[in-house]
Amino acid sequence: MRFFFAALIAACATPSEAGAPAESAMATIPKPGPGQAVAVFAGGCFWCMETDFDHLDGVVATTSGYAGGHTKNPTYMDVTGEDTGHQEAVRVVFDTEKLSYAAVVDYYFHHIDPTDGGGQFCDRGDSYRPVIFAESAEQAATATAAKAALEAKKALPGPIVVPVVEGATFYAAEVYHQDFHEKNPSRYLPYRLGCRRDARVSEVWRAEAG
């Protein structure tokens, strides 16, 4: 489950804590347009994953949600109960004229700790572990090759433990989780800082950066 750092951090709260109705509606999943493609990743808190991908030039839309589990139409409370098999995930729609899928995968790897399979940063448990959810066999091959290339460099502090999973269904999370960093910066920013996400990413990738 997600860790709280006293009054410093406000993590993925319950709907009422986040200022939303107790039974919040699920978000709509945007369809890719011409010249656009979809990539889905899990990398810990989906608020943070969504924020990171919103900063990547060529990304058209991001959606926080759930993927990889066995429960249909899961809610946030279902997933945080750690018995659905789902991970918090982000669905990324990107412009293929500006970004290749390989570039999106590389960006993903450089914004997580790919050596930590027990969760990410302060968030521990199956629902926070990193996963690449490939949308096709071609994406799976590209992601697997990217993972192998990183492992061959031997620049990280441990083996890369991010699985590549093909064919998982993505479910959008509740509306109040979408763009959380913009809607609730007073909750989001202390959480991200207290979780040491950016600090740990810098530590993990320091050797590769030289």
Is 48 in the active site?
no
What's the rounded Cα separation, in Å, for the pair 73 and 152?
A: 38
**What string of H, E and C letters represents the secondary structure of the chain?**
CCCCCCCCCCCCCCCCCCCCCCCCCECCCCCCCCCEEEEEEECCCHHHHHHHHHCCCCEEEEEEEEECCCCCCCCHHHHHCCCCCCEEEEEEEEECCCCCHHHHHHHHHCCCCCCCCCEECCEECHHHCCEEEECCHHHHHHHHHHHHHHHHHCCCCCCCCCCEEECCCEEECEHHHCCHHHHCHHHHHHHHHHHCHHHHHHHHHHHHHC
Residue of 12, 45, 48, 195 marked catalytic = 45
> Residue 63's closest CA among 44, 79, 47?
47
Neighbour-count burial of 109, counting CB atoms closer than 10 A to its CB (0-12 exposed, 13-18 middle, 19+ buried): buried
List, by residue number, the catalytic residues: 45
